[in-house]
């Protein structure tokens, strides 16, 4: 099969739970982790005779996200019934949007290798209500929790522009950053706030002819690892199947697979329905959504600088590495903490180092963002200035940073109480330097000789001075005075 080549083609469907207070069409509280079936009412249970009422905030969140994804936002859209029978959908239809979605024809930029980006087209973004949740862990039967039924769900559908498992993962991660920046979703994948469904096939070239393998959809992925691994597995599975059977897209319907995380493989579930199978028709109990110019501009005013643009700006403006810029822009609050500290007078590089080194480790250990560690921008800026001015050492700055997350004390107060202020009295330091030179004549001789041992001997002498000062001598001043003695 040396003459066989293939191209990976992936489109992605993403479901995002919107962070509203109540559900999409009723006043039930939108809460996670509650007792099963404790957040339900006749509306989300689909009882006869009930009428849905649209959640305005969910519509605004959907429009805001569509704007951030560069979509054309429709000033007029409507609701449709998508009919299918499943135990977690009590009324046997889902209220969704079919031919008039809120947003369409947009794009998202994703980071790829070597600092470059790739543009992935967005086909549509539409609102719908979520179904409930089936549970299969109680024995030889299934249980149904309808707390999630009726939750506001934004479905985003890309064009098949992704061409590798890494690109699929990059898009998922970037979209998570975007919805969190906008504040429209908590996007906690472990809680099911975001679910991903890649649609995968291969364009195989053999003997100059192109064959397209059948499209498979992998359902309900809720971790970046499972997204990437399921796509990689499907690529290999489809290639093997094509080589063995020659089966192509024209030979069968699209199929739905699940991902078995334990065995690390996809598992066939069913053949995929087509649009006509759902028997879409306009929802008779809801009026269309008409967005005035004033309402549209009010929503647009809430847009912020998005994470990838901010990351690029940090690299250019502050001369940061891609890693540092990525850490600082991982969430909006941390990025704003960094910028506020810089505006308050902290040197960007020093503030960055404090956050990406001390702050990142501590936030990971505590399971929170760096902004939630409790250090204000003003205190962070003052701590950075103390380190830059030589008042404290870099090691002391880390210790003070850690203390500030557990105390309301000022950085200057902590430094003084812990005896961390560096000595910068030139006369006092010179006395220490002279003592060290007198105590270590061989090291001084090796240093002054300028041979292979010179740098090591100089470092030794520096260390001795710092040690004599009990760690309080300003290293910069020690270095300057020592060099004068050479």
| pLDDT at 167 > cutoff 70 | yes
- The reported pTM is 0.85
Q: What percent of the chain has pLDDT over 70?
A: 97
Is residue 129 within 8 Å of 74, Cβ to Cβ? no
Torsion angle of the four alpha carbons 309, 314, 319, 325, in this order, in degrees rounded to the nearest 10: -100
Is residue 153 within 8 Å of 16, Cβ to Cβ? yes
d(CA 137, CA 37): 17
Parallel, antiparallel, or unpaired for β 255-260 and 216-218? parallel
Parallel, antiparallel, or unpaired for β 265-271 and 255-260? antiparallel
The pLDDT value recorded for residue 290 is 96
In whole angstroms, how far apart are CA 154 and each of 125, 128, 166, 185? 7, 6, 24, 10
Residue 212 phi/psi, 5-degree rounding, is -105, 125
Note the pLDDT tens digit of each residue in 53-99.
999 999 999 999 999 999 999 999 999 999 988 889 989 999 999 99
Q: What percent of the chain has pLDDT over 90?
A: 71
Note the pLDDT tens digit of each residue in 274-302.
666 788 999 999 999 999 999 999 999 99
Note the pLDDT tens digit of each residue in 355-411.
999 999 999 999 999 999 999 999 999 999 999 988 888 888 999 999 999 999 999
Is residue 186 within 8 Å of 193, Cβ to Cβ? yes
The pLDDT value recorded for residue 50 is 93
Residue 208 makes CB contacts below 8 A (sequence gap 6+) with: none
The pLDDT value recorded for residue 356 is 95
Is residue 184 within 8 Å of 16, Cβ to Cβ? yes
Most confidently predicted of 109-113, 171-175, 189-193: 171-175
Domain residue limits, the chain = 13-198+270-295, 307-417, 426-484
Is residue 185 within 8 Å of 203, Cβ to Cβ? no
Say whether domain 426-484 belongs to CATH 1.10.10.10: no
When comparing pLDDT for 434 and 103, which is higher? 103
d(CA 117, CA 214): 29
């Amino acid at each position: 099969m040396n003459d066989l080549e293939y191209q990976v083609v992936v489109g992605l469907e993403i479901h995002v739970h919107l962070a509203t207070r109540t559900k999409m069409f009723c006043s039930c509280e939108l809460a996670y982790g509650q007792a099963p079936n404790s957040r339900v009412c006749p509306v989300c249970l689909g009882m006869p005779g009930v009428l849905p009422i649209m959640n305005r905030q969910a519509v605004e969140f959907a429009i805001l996200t569509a704007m951030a994804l560069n979509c054309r936002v429709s000033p007029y859209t409507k609701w449709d019934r998508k009919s299918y029978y499943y135990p977690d959908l009590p009324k046997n239809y889902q209220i969704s949007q079919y031919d008039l979605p809120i947003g369409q024809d947009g794009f998202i930029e994703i980071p790829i290798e070597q600092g470059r980006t790739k543009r992935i087209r967005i086909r549509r973004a539409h609102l719908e209500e979520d179904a409930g949740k089936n549970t299969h862990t109680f024995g030889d039967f299934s249980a149904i929790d309808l707390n999630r039924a009726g939750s506001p769900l934004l479905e985003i559908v890309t064009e098949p522009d992704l061409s590798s498992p890494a690109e699929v993962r990059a898009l998922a991660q970037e979209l998570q950053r975007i919805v969190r920046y906008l504040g429209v979703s908590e996007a906690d994948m472990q809680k099911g706030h975001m679910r991903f469904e890649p649609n995968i096939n291969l364009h195989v070239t053999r003997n100059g002819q192109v064959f397209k393998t059948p499209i498979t959809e992998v359902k309900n992925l809720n971790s970046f690892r499972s997204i990437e691994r399921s796509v990689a597995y499907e690529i290999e599975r489809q290639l093997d199947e094509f080589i063995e059977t020659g089966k192509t897209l024209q030979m069968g319907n699209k199929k739905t697979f699940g991902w078995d995380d334990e065995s690390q493989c996809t598992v066939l579930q069913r053949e995929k329905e087509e649009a006509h199978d759902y028997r879409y028709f306009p929802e008779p109990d809801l009026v269309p959504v008409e967005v005035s110019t004033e309402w549209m501009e009010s929503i647009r005013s809430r847009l912020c600088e998005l994470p990838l643009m901010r990351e690029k700006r940090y690299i250019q403006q502050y001369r940061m590495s891609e890693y540092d810029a990525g850490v600082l822009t991982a969430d909006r609050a941390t990025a704003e903490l960094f910028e506020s500290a810089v505006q308050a007078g902290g040197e960007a590089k020093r503030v960055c180092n404090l956050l990406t080194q001390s702050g990142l480790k501590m936030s990971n250990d505590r399971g929170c963002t760096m902004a939630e560690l409790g250090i204000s921008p003003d205190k962070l800026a003052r701590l950075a200035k103390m380190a830059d001015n030589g008042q404290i050492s870099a090691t002391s700055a880390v210790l003070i940073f850690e203390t500030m997350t557990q105390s309301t004390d000022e950085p200057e107060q902590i430094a003084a109480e812990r005896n961390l202020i560096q000595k910068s009295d030139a006369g006092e330091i010179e006395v220490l330097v002279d003592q060290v030179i007198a105590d270590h004549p061989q090291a001084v001789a090796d240093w002054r000789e300028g041979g292979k041992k010179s740098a090591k001997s100089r470092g030794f002498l520096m260390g001795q001075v710092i040690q004599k000062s009990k760690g309080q001598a300003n290293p910069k001043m020690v270095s300057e005075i020592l060099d004068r003695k050479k």
